[in-house]
Amino acid sequence: VDLAIVTTLPEAPGLEARAIAQEEFLAVASPGYLRRQGTPRTASELAAHRFIAFDPDLAMLAQWWRSTFGSREPLPGRVVCHITNLDEMQALAEAGGGITVLPDYLVKPAVVAGRLVALAPESGRRSLRRPRGTLWLAWRRAGALRWWRLPMAWSCSPAHPCSALEAISSSSTTAWAST
């Protein structure tokens, strides 16, 4: 693969990367799940709930949890499944399978439509840090494509994570991969 959008900064030799967007994480659950299990307000109440996580490292969940409650609060232990597909995580949450943490741009339509509820627990922290992740555009240095040297006048926003991707994808037939 010549070019990839990744969520962790690649450390492999011969790769270069540039941050292209920020994503904010939200903890969400279905209204039905919250009616049955209760709406958690504190870290201890939240930790007693079922969680749907991306991977065993709890990547998005851990980042949201630590940003919300601090590093001293233990991560929740009731992770009922790991699914490495964000759409499937959202579908499970909408079906009432538990609480999940996903990028805001992905879950916003479901929150607006009432299929998911964004959770805002009381953290007791006065941190200004928001639970965010960085999206990176990574490429092989040796195989750098000529079009890549175009000026970086791209616009990224929470509403439209990166219009640069449209410009790139319309000007190239490079294989795309995401992790």
Closest CA to 135 of 22, 57, 59: 22
Q: What is the largest CA-CA distance in the chain?
A: 56
- The answer to whether the predicted template modeling score (pTM) of the entire model surpasses 0.75 is no
- Coil, strand or helix at 119: coil
d(CA 48, CA 40): 9
With contact defined as beta carbons under 8 Å apart, do 58 and 129 qualify? no
The model's pLDDT over 50-90, given as tens digits with 9 standing for 90+, comes to 999 988 888 889 888 888 888 888 888 889 999 989 999 99
pLDDT tens-digit readout, 110-146? 999 999 999 987 765 555 556 677 777 778 776 555 4
pLDDT in tens, 35-49: 999 999 999 999 999
Cα–Cα distance, 175 to 73 (Å, whole number) = 41
What is the SS3 assignment for 61? Answer: helix
34 contacts 117 by C-beta, under 8 angstroms: yes
